[in-house]
Chain A
Amino acid sequence: MMLEISDLAKSFGPRVALAGVNLIVEEGEFVILLGPNGAGKTTLLRTVATLTRPTSGMVRIAGSDPLKVGLTVRQQIGYLSHRTLLYNDLSAEQNLLFYARMYGLADPDARIAELLERVDLADRRDDLVRNYSRGMQQRLAVVRTMLHRPRLLLLDEPYTGLDPLAADRLTELLTELSEEGCTLLLATHHMGDLAAVNKRAVILSRGRVIHDDVIADVAGFPALYRDLVLRHTSDGGATTRAEPPRPLPVAASGPSRPRGADSLPGFLRQVLAVVAKDLTAELRTREILSAMFVFAFLAMLIFSFALDLRGAVARAAAPGVLWTTIAFAGTLGLSRSMAREQETGGMDGLRLSPADRTVILFGKALGNMTMMLALEAVLVPLSAILFNVPLFAPGVLAILLGGTLGYALVGTLLAAIAVNTRAREVMLPILLLPLVMPLLIAAVQATRGLLEGLTWTELGGWINLLVVYDLLIAAAALLTFEYVVES
């Protein structure tokens, strides 16, 4: 048995999305999931894909509980969402290479070339996804879904945006996968897109299964579907007893599915994959760095006008001006970096991969820290020139490193929160700046102390505070990040 769902319920606050779904899918089956808008199809697929935690009930994938062995289960699932889960600022090949690293594929180049060929995107492999048409993005998203040879494919409206030719090709591809033994659960509104005969149809309405049977009469099925849904909704939502799933012939087993990697990918490799992905996207667009540089330079100019930073005043104020500028410019980078994840559902892509949630935290934080350090590499000499202060001391650089680490960690955690709020453009600094107050005070005082000629021993209190802050924030972020990225 590939998938077993029993009494699955999911509520979003008082709104009930799934109200006790029972479903058994055997290995190699091709199941079409149907239902009106708001019936719970997407919630069901997201819950099976481990992206949404159920309120109650049980899901077993190949006999395993995803809540207990999430990494192993996620390695076996491919999920196509409403969103492409692709990064617009990367090429098709870079996107697939990133996911291949996250899944630990043994020979990613050959697999990527083979799949791109099958969906007619081999010629456009180096183009930015941003420049793809909707249909091309959808084809690439399908490739991303099957890149790691999953045993269970969950497809949510895969025909969206495809032209008739591409839709036919997709149907061929899915039929082929099914014949090879892959289990498919496909949610759709358009029965005409599928060669539906002899496929099992499961109809959801108001979070319940109201029909579960093999489609024998394809021509008559749309009328049956409308009748069933109308009857269920006109009952005022009364529970219609779901028909027990009929025993179905298990699809003929195809050749055994090759596994990309024998062991799960390493933590460090996944962290570095996230960092590399962020830096590659940034090198392509230079959006974050240019925005941070220009903003930081403007801030320094405004500070120098406002505070008349000359002579002794400049030397006294330089550490404060430097750290304030870093903190303000840093929020721009943190916001943009997380917004990139949000644009096309990249965060879901990360959460689907067989990686611990802390991989996302450390990967994103390291990427953000690298960009902030790049900013500081320009800001420090600029401040030294503008304010005539010797900022190149090794001690100052160590403080910059320690302060930036804490700032990037807490900033990444809060950016992941802020990007999901309605006021996302303004929320990050409001959340972040009160939390980094001790870090900023310690960093400014330690930098000032070094410039005034104090020794490391004399600065011990500030350095200790900085270290304790970094450790405490790292521990708190590690413990809580999972709850931030959960949906």
Chain B
Amino acid sequence: MVQRQNRVGVLLAVLSVVAFLGALWMVFGYAPREATMGDVQRIFYFHVASAWVGFFGFFVTFVTSIVYLVREERHWDIVAASSAEIGLAFITMTLLTGMLWARPVWGVYWTWEPRLTISAVQWLLYVAYVMLRGSVASPEREARFAAVYGIMAFVTVPLSWFAIRWWRTIHPQVVSGEGMAMTPRMVRTLLTSIGVFTLVYVTLLRQRIRLALAQDALTALQLAQES
């Protein structure tokens, strides 16, 4: 059983690496050079894909948190925790790629552009989620508190999005990311990138879940030995 699970893990990892190399080729070799921004625009394919996976990861945390509260089964909590951690890693990448993109294009590393701002809010929400998980002694309480926070965090994201968008509309934006025309090759590259990042997410999620299960088994063994 374990060996078969390992084989699936290895297969997913190999697939992810191959697919990622393919996506890299599309980003640098297949997609055309953007007329206004030049090569720096290519970071867009990583930026959007990581933002998507980050958001998707938080959505999975939201759904599995609800299921955990209803069914109180440990594995749902493990999925919620794993997905939030991976989502946080991808949102961190979104923020960093956003800043790297902003500097050459707009001349600043940071602008209070709505999408960057909402990514920053999401980043803070899920950093708080991870900190909360690390700060509760009882595993049951940790799971319940984290599930409640995972639900609250996700339901306030759309409201934050509206608030930040309206706020930036009232105070005119100095810079704007709107209006970039996308050719069919660009669209295909973007979609491939999103698909590949999702595959990487699935691979990482599976490994993270296995790690948590192994940790549980180890703790149970230690407790059995102690008693």
B3 interface hit (Cβ, 8 Å):
no
A483 contacts B148, CB within 8 Å? yes
Enumerate chain B residues within 8 angstroms of A422, measured Cβ to Cβ: 135-137
Q: Which residue of A lies closest to B219 (CB)?
A: A14
In angstroms, Cα B216 to Cα A195, docked, is 46
Q: Which of the listed residues A15, A435, A441, A484 has the most CB atoms from chain B within 10 Å of its own CB? A: A435
A413 interface hit (Cβ, 8 Å):
yes
Enumerate chain B residues within 8 angstroms of A462, measured Cβ to Cβ: 166
A469 contacts B152, CB within 8 Å? no
CB within 8 A of B159: which of A13, A413, A472? A472
In angstroms, Cα B128 to Cα A427, docked, is 8
Instruction: Give the distance to chain B from A11, nearest Cβ to Cβ, in Å.
Output: 9
A476 interface hit (Cβ, 8 Å):
yes
B135 contacts A237, CB within 8 Å? no
Q: Which of the listed residues B135, B139, B220 has the most CB atoms from chain A within 10 Å of its own CB? A: B135
| Contact of A12 with B140 at beta-carbon distance under 8 Å, contacts A445-B166, A461-B166, A483-B69 already known | yes
In angstroms, Cα B151 to Cα A468, docked, is 17
Instruction: Give the distance to chain B from A429, nearest Cβ to Cβ, in Å.
Output: 9
> Which B residues from 142 to 165 make CB contacts under 8 A with A?
144-145, 147-149, 151-153, 155-156, 159-160, 162-164
Instruction: Give the distance to chain A from B9, nearest Cβ to Cβ, in Å.
Output: 24
In angstroms, Cα B131 to Cα A445, docked, is 31
In angstroms, Cα B128 to Cα A480, docked, is 18
CB within 8 A of A435: which of B152, B167, B223? B152
B144 contacts A486, CB within 8 Å? yes
A110 interface hit (Cβ, 8 Å):
no
| Contact of A430 with B163 at beta-carbon distance under 8 Å, contacts A413-B148, A437-B156 already known | no
Q: Which residue of B lies closest to A441 (CB)?
A: B163
In angstroms, Cα B163 to Cα A472, docked, is 15
B152 contacts A410, CB within 8 Å? yes
A311 interface hit (Cβ, 8 Å):
no
A476 contacts B151, CB within 8 Å? yes
A434 contacts B124, CB within 8 Å? yes
B132 interface hit (Cβ, 8 Å):
yes
Q: Which residue of A lies closest to B129 (CB)?
A: A431
Enumerate chain A residues within 8 angstroms of B136, measured Cβ to Cβ: 420-422
A423 contacts B159, CB within 8 Å? no
- The contact string, 1 if C-beta is below 8 Å from chain A, for chain B 58-79, is 0000000000010000000000
B36 interface hit (Cβ, 8 Å):
no
In angstroms, Cα B152 to Cα A465, docked, is 16
B100 interface hit (Cβ, 8 Å):
no
Enumerate chain B residues within 8 angstroms of A413, measured Cβ to Cβ: 148, 152
A222 interface hit (Cβ, 8 Å):
no
| Contact of A431 with B128 at beta-carbon distance under 8 Å, contacts A12-B139, A483-B148 already known | yes
Instruction: Give the distance to chain A from B224, nearest Cβ to Cβ, in Å.
Output: 9
A23 interface hit (Cβ, 8 Å):
no
A487 interface hit (Cβ, 8 Å):
yes
Instruction: Give the distance to chain B from A205, nearest Cβ to Cβ, in Å.
Output: 11
CB within 8 A of A13: which of B128, B131, B138? B138
B170 interface hit (Cβ, 8 Å):
yes
In angstroms, Cα B81 to Cα A51, docked, is 26
B125 interface hit (Cβ, 8 Å):
yes
A139 interface hit (Cβ, 8 Å):
no
A472 contacts B155, CB within 8 Å? yes
| Contact of A437 with B151 at beta-carbon distance under 8 Å, contacts A422-B135, A430-B131, A486-B144 already known | no
A417 interface hit (Cβ, 8 Å):
yes
Enumerate chain A residues within 8 angstroms of B185, measured Cβ to Cβ: none
Q: Which residue of A lies closest to B122 (CB)?
A: A434
CB within 8 A of A438: which of B137, B160, B219? B160
A361 interface hit (Cβ, 8 Å):
no
Enumerate chain B residues within 8 angstroms of A487, measured Cβ to Cβ: 141
Enumerate chain B residues within 8 angstroms of A237, measured Cβ to Cβ: 227
In angstroms, Cα B160 to Cα A206, docked, is 50
Enumerate chain A residues within 8 angstroms of B69, measured Cβ to Cβ: 480, 483
In angstroms, Cα B146 to Cα A417, docked, is 9
Q: Which residue of B lies closest to A448 (CB)?
A: B170
B167 contacts A434, CB within 8 Å? no
Q: Which residue of B lies closest to A445 (CB)?
A: B167
| Contact of A13 with B132 at beta-carbon distance under 8 Å, contacts A437-B121, A465-B159 already known | no
| Contact of A483 with B159 at beta-carbon distance under 8 Å, contacts A237-B227, A434-B124, A476-B151 already known | no
A465 contacts B149, CB within 8 Å? no
Instruction: Give the distance to chain B from A36, nearest Cβ to Cβ, in Å.
Output: 12
Enumerate chain B residues within 8 angstroms of A437, measured Cβ to Cβ: 121, 156, 160, 163
Enumerate chain A residues within 8 angstroms of B139, measured Cβ to Cβ: 12-14
> Which B residues from 112 to 130 make CB contacts under 8 A with A?
121, 124-125, 127-128
Q: Which of the listed residues A13, A442, A468 has the most CB atoms from chain B within 10 Å of its own CB? A: A13
CB within 8 A of A420: which of B141, B151, B159, B163? B141
- The contact string, 1 if C-beta is below 8 Å from chain B, for chain A 425-468, is 00100110111011001100100000000000000011001001
Instruction: Give the distance to chain B from A358, nearest Cβ to Cβ, in Å.
Output: 14
B223 contacts A427, CB within 8 Å? no
CB within 8 A of B135: which of A423, A434, A476, A480? A423
B153 contacts A435, CB within 8 Å? yes
Ordered by A's residue number, 19 sampled pairs between the chains whose C-beta atoms are within 8 Å are A12-B140, A13-B219, A410-B152, A413-B152, A417-B145, A422-B136, A427-B132, A427-B135, A435-B153, A437-B163, A438-B159, A441-B160, A441-B164, A473-B152, A476-B152, A483-B69, A484-B144, A486-B144, A487-B141
Top 3 A-B residue pairs of the complex, sorted by shortest distance between their CB atoms: A13-B139, A438-B159, A421-B135
Apart from A422-B135, A472-B156, A483-B147, what 14 extra A-B contacts exist at CB < 8 Å? A13-B139, A14-B219, A14-B223, A237-B227, A427-B131, A430-B127, A434-B125, A437-B121, A438-B163, A445-B166, A465-B162, A465-B163, A468-B159, A472-B159
